[in-house]
Amino acid sequence: MIDLDAVVSLRTIATEGSVARAAALLGFTPSAVSQQVKRLERETGVTLLERAGRGVVLTDAATRLVVASTPVLADIERIRADIQSLADTPEALVGEIRLAAFSTVVRGLLVPVLADLAARHPTLRLPLRESEPWETIALVASGQRDLGIVHRWGGVALAMPDHLVETPLFTDVADVILPRTHRLAGRSSLLPEDLADEPWVATFDSTICRQWLRRLFDGVSGAPRIVHESMEFENHLEVARAGLAVALVPRLGRGKLSEDLVAIPTEGPASTRAVSAVHRRTQADSPALRVVLDAVARRAVDLAGA
């Protein structure tokens, strides 16, 4: 009989490109994942992995196995959800809902939610991984995570596979952060043209937030002029405080600003982002997933009304 846990490991190796990265994602040691694959090779009688430089690639047989197993794993997921729905009380929730989310929603929404869920459902495991929205969608779509929280800034595209369900949560807003001594600090709102000559601090080029900042300046030649890069919005605030650059920082997870900084909204849809949750359709009847999603949604309502 084919070991489906080993098949899941094989699928993860395919998406991650190495045994080590797959092991880190699955919470195993590389040795344990390698042993799973070797056991699967003995069960099937074929070679499943081949060396490719410093990594590994799937053989044709392994690729066929991964593709063929996809509907089987989806059926098992549906069966698991159906069985869990027979539990008499919420306290009977067991198992694991693996989450993936972007950094500001982790501290601005998820941490208190997970703490409350841990107290109410001690037998429900809720491991969390921080990831960019497009990575989160890939993780949920491939079965490596169960529930993801993503965002869309303005018109930045975010492809959603057909087998995923998206639940809108709330709309977040970003403000331009300036030192209180800045020439624009007294304005009630700002246009992109007002900021065209300013130096900026931004996240890395590969992130959605960087694309969103560029989209804010559509039609404004030469802007934004990015001189500093950091993945942490807390660092952006410090850079702005020192007068080295201005920053565009979302309100979610930002906390109260110190007296020497001001936050000024910008005009137009590019300064807002839609935050939503995503999960696979096959998990729609999972009581555990529903409990987590409902808790996230309630917290989102609180944030929207704050």
Which of 84, 118, 147 is the last residue before a domain boundary?
84
Alpha helices in the chain (DSSP H): 4-16, 19-26, 30-44, 60-84, 103-105, 111-120, 133-141, 208-216, 233-241, 287-305
Report if residue 209 sits inside a domain.
Answer: yes
The pLDDT tens digits of the residues spanning 60-90 come to: 888 888 888 777 777 776 766 666 655 545 5
**What is the reported pTM?**
0.74
Residues 37 and 168 in one domain: no
Residue 234 lies in a domain: yes
Task: Tell me: do 249 and 306 sit in the same domain.
Answer: yes
Query: What is the Cα 144 distance to its own chain's centre?
Result: 12
- The per-residue pLDDT for 85 is 59
259/237 same-domain check: yes
Rounded percentage of the chain residues whose pLDDT exceeds 70:
92
Q: What's at 169, amino acid-wise?
A: L
Give the pLDDT of residue 158: 84
- 210 and 266, same domain (yes or no): yes
Report the CATH number that the domain containing residue 115 is assigned in CATH. 3.40.190.290
Distance CA 250, CA 19 (A): 36
d(CA 125, CA 288): 10
CA 155/CA 175 separation, integer angstroms: 17
Cβ density class 257-274: b for 16+ within 10 Å, e for less: beeebbbbbbeeebbbbb
Looking at the fold, whether 10 and 156 belong to one and the same domain comes out as: no
Among 58, 84, 110, the domain-final residue is 84
In a domain, 89, yes or no: no
Span 239-273, pLDDT tens digits: 999 999 999 999 998 989 999 999 999 986 668 89
Helices 19-26 & 4-16 angle (0-180, nearest 10): 120
Residue 61 in any domain: the answer is yes
pLDDT in tens, 288-303: 999 999 999 999 998 8
- CATH classification of the domain holding 77: 1.10.10.10
Q: Which sign, positive or negative, has the C-alpha torsion 70, 76, 79, 81?
A: negative
- The CA distance from 148 to 232, in Å, is 20
Query: Has residue 90 been placed in a domain?
Result: no
DSSP assignment of 12-34, as one string?
Answer: HHHHHSSHHHHHHHHTS-HHHHH
Residue 95 — φ and ψ, nearest 5°? 105, -150
Count the domains in the chain: 2
Q: How far is CA 280 from CA 114, 161, 289, 294, in A?
A: 20, 9, 10, 16
Residues 13 and 110 reside in one and the same domain: no
* Residue 91, in any domain of the structure: no
Residue 26 lies in a domain: yes
Say yes or no: 53 and 111 in one domain: no
Q: What angle do CA 279, 105, 232 make, to 5 degrees?
A: 130
- Cα 201 from Cα 229, distance rounded (Å): 6
Residue 69 sits in the same domain as residue 193: no
Check pLDDT > 90 for residue 200. yes
Q: Per-residue pLDDT for 27 more than 90?
A: no
Residue 216 lies in a domain: yes
Which amino acid, residue 306? Answer: A
User: What pLDDT digit, counting tens, does each position of 85-119 carry?
Assistant: 555 455 557 789 999 999 999 999 999 999 999 99
CB-based burial, 158-174: b 16+ in 10 Å, e otherwise: beeeeeebeeebbebeb
Q: Supply φ then ψ for residue 115, to 5 degrees.
A: -65, -45
When computed from its CA atoms, the radius of gyration of the chain, rounded to whole angstroms, is 23
Same-domain pairing of 141 and 260 = yes
> Do 108 and 218 share a domain, yes or no?
yes
Burial of 229 (0-12, 13-18, 19+ CB in 10 A): middle
pLDDT for 303 equals: 86
Same domain assignment for residues 104 and 61: no
Query: Of 61, 84, 107, which residue is a domain's last?
Result: 84
- Statement to judge: residues 115 and 256 lie in one domain: yes
Q: Please, what is the end-to-end C-alpha distance for the chain in angstroms?
A: 54
- Containing structural domain, residue 46: 4-84
CA 69, 72, 74, 77 dihedral sign is negative
